[in-house]
Amino acid sequence: LAMVPENVLSNRQLMLKACQKDRSALRRVGPTLSHDKDFLEEVIDVDIEALGFLPHHSQRRFPELLMDNMKQFFDCSQTDTLEFLDTVAEDVRTMPRFVEAYFKSGGVFRNNYFPGEMSDDEQIFLWVAEYCRKWHWSTAFEHISDRLRSNSDFILKAIELNPFVYWCASKEIKND
């Protein structure tokens, strides 16, 4: 699609077919279509994995497309939650609504994707405790702050949501 004329890249029917054949074509749709929420929703409805190819400028304009479809994407996709974060614009990734939707959809916390102060955010790690997918538990609390890891009230709340959190607690709390 690199040499395709603008009139083709902006043709709704042609680009819808192109995106159905190759979801990465979504990154190259013309400006008219990349700013057309209905078109983007239609592409995502046909192929949820196209969500990982949503252009950054479309993510910024319609962040709700990511937030509203993330759980379904994680449930259906072969893409890991961290691979998905690689496709999300950094400024969108730190929007409070995105952060909540991501963790409530089963996303994993990693310092290199989120600002460091988030590793000390009780609410984020309560969401991680409640919604994290079981195959991520070995690393789910890897980047939690020492303060939270040693906070017995927080750890008890998190253990109520998911008993596995016990293994992430500080030695002092485990010994109590």
Cα 71 to Cα 103: distance, rounded to the nearest angstrom: 9
Instruction: Please give the single-letter amino acid code of residue 174.
Output: K
Joined tokens for residue 2: 């690199």
Report pLDDT digits (tens) over 105-141.
988 888 888 988 999 999 999 999 999 877 666 677 8
**pLDDT number for residue 17:** 95
Report pLDDT digits (tens) over 64-97.
999 999 999 988 877 777 889 999 999 999 999 9
Cα 107 to Cα 38: distance, rounded to the nearest angstrom: 26
The answer for residues whose C-beta is within 8 angstroms of residue 7's C-beta and 6 or more apart is: none
H or E element in which residue 33 lies? helix 31-34
